[in-house]
Structure 1
Amino acid sequence: MTTNNTTTKRPTAAVKIKRLHPDAVIPQYARAFDAGFDLVAVEDVLILPGETAKIPTGLAFALPDGYELQVRPRSGISAKSKLRISNSPGTVDAGYRGEVCVLMDNIRQAAGETGTICLDVSDKPVESAQPVDRHAYLIRKGDRIAQGVLAIVPIADFEEVDELDETERGAGGFGSSGVQ
């Protein structure tokens, strides 16, 4: 890990990117202190109500050993629409060299009304090239669909034991601390 002192004092890591599609957008950080960089759709994808779609970015990454790329939701999409990242955060392992895609769910129920108007990532009406349920979402080529965060991943050194040490929490989970 090196430090880039020209813009910030944050650590940096060399990440190689291969453009798999001529329209793929090389990621960049929007602001100096952002943790994540935008991942952009490289083609139009229609997501019907209750369906999950794989949205290609047209990019492959070579991450340094000891790192992962976490694929996380963009807060604006989650706040304005019923689109959710399926496996949030998704993990891209350092050894993976294939295309990074974003798995996205449309959690809306079917409206039962078909036409050529559906929704975009901001939950605004948009024209579809084919008849669809009005609660379908059209991800358009060039839409910022997720964010990537580079994270250090330590490797666990597992040790099997007969007993675990006691803690105040113990085995309490799933709401054991209450809601208020």
Structure 2
Amino acid sequence: MSSPDVVQLLRLPGCEDVQLPQRMSEQASGYDLYAAVAEPLVLQPGERALVPTGIAIAMPGHLEAQIRPRSGLAFKHGITCLNTPGTIDADYRGEIKVLLINLGHHPFTIERNERIAQMVFQQVPAVRLEPVLQLEETQRGAGGFGHTGTK
């Protein structure tokens, strides 16, 4: 088994009490992220907000961090992430913030240290884009949305 990649984690000033990201089970793929709001934040139905986490990270160049919704918040309250998955690039050093939206029918209050999203690390393949004059033909061709079925 190879050794794991090291991702450096910086807790930002004023966020010493905010939980650091953690996996909630041994085989969980995501690390839960916690809200670092200064005071409770109420998201009205249809409203979105950029929620701070109080952390910044540095990771190897072959990784990205994806910010994804928590299924429990989505199912129980209609709270999810916009721009999902959000991408944190390896060269970004600012605070990780989560773009949440309330798709539910009731206001939802986000408290400090509440689990708001999860962060999943993924490999980024090295690719080389090659301009060409024509693409290889396939059976599907340019068929887009709904092309492979009626439902």
Q: Same fold (TM over 0.5)?
A: yes
Counterpart of 1:19?
11
Answer yes or no: is the 8 Å Cα contact 1:36–1:148 preserved in 2. yes
Confirm or deny: 8 A CA contact 2:77 2:108 kept in the other structure: no
Report the Cα offset of residue 145 of structure 1: 0.7
- Which of these residues, 84, 91, 115, is aligned with residue 88 of structure 1? 84
1:60 to 40, 56, 59: 56
- Please give the residue correspondences for 1:47-126 in structure 2 after superposition, counting only pairs within 5 Å: 47-108=43-104
TM-score with structure 1 setting the length = 0.76
Pick 1 or 2: higher relative contact order, CA cutoff 8 A, min separation 6: 2
- Counterpart of 1:125 in structure 2 is none
Instruction: Tell me by how many angstroms 1:179 deviates.
Output: 4.2
Q: Secondary structure at the match of 2:53?
A: strand
Shift of 1:24: 2.3
The CA distance in 1 between the partners of 2:150 and 2:77, in whole Å, is 27
% identical aligned pairs: 43
Residues 101-129 of structure 1 show CA distances to partners (whole Å, capped at 9, x for unaligned) of 100011246xxxxxxxxxxxxxxxxxxxx
> Any idea what SS the aligned residue of 1:77 has?
helix
Q: Which has the higher strand share?
A: 1
Give the Cα separation in 1 of the matches to 2:61 and 2:144.
Answer: 33
What runs of 5+ residues in structure 2 fail to find an aligned partner?
none
8 Å contact kept, 1:23–1:58: no
Bigger-Rg structure (1/2): 1
- In 2, Cα distance between the equivalents of 1:145 and 1:103? 10
* Residue pair 2:70, 2:80 contacting (<8 A) in 1 also: no
Q: Distance in 2 between matches of 1:157 and 1:107?
A: 39
Is 1:142 matched with 2:113? Answer: yes
Normalised to the residue count of structure 2, the TM-score between the two structures is 0.90
2:138 is aligned with what amino acid?
T
Matched, 1:30 2:24: yes
Q: Which runs of 4+ in 1 moved over 4 A?
A: none
Per the TM alignment, residue 49 of structure 1 is displaced from its structure 2 partner at its CA by: 2.1
Deviation at 1:156, TM superposition (A): 2.8
Q: CA RMSD, aligned part only?
A: 1.6
Q: Which runs of 5+ in 1 are unaligned?
A: 5-11, 110-134
